Amino acid sequence: PPGRRVQSSKLSPAPPRLLTEEEYRLQGEVETRRALAELRSFCQSPQFSAWSTVSRIQSPKRFADFVGGASHITPSEVSVHEREFGLESLFIDEQLFEEDDDDDDDDEDSVTDSFAG
């Protein structure tokens, strides 16, 4: 009966569309900005216990600066991130993988030669 076909199609929904890399990056930036604004807003509200929080954190001045509107990351943290995850690191990784591939070929040849002899 037609009713069963309709019911079975409802049980198996189409898989969700995956985000492109650009959409993923953009969504991450938007959601991070939104969450930081929400955190900053909460920290400025009367419900927030500033003294108990400040007494437990490592950098009270940095936290106070953040609540006042400063960035949540320092320029040195940005530099470290760029070195580790930026385009420069991708280039270095590519070079390492290319070298590893060459080394693997040499190892395979030497193993093959040892069996041949």
Q: Which domain holds residue 37?
A: 21-96
Q: What pLDDT shows up at residue 91?
A: 62
Residue 115 lies in a domain: no
Residue written as tokens 């040195």? 76
Please tell me the chain's helix, strand, coil percentages from 3-state DSSP, rounded to the nearest 5: 75, 0, 25
The Cα 55–Cα 25 span in angstroms is 35
Confidence of residue 98 (pLDDT cuts 50, 70, 90): low
Give a yes or no: residue 15 inside a domain.
no
Residue 84 domain-assigned?
Answer: yes
Q: Is residue 67 part of a domain?
A: yes
The number of domains in the chain is 1
pLDDT for residue 108 is more than 90: no
pLDDT at 51 exceeding the cut of 60:
yes
Higher confidence at residue 38 or residue 103? 38
111 located within any domain: no
Q: Is the pLDDT of residue 42 over 80?
A: yes
Nearest to 48 by CA among 71, 64, 70, 72: 64
- Average pLDDT rounded to a whole number, residues 4-20: 74
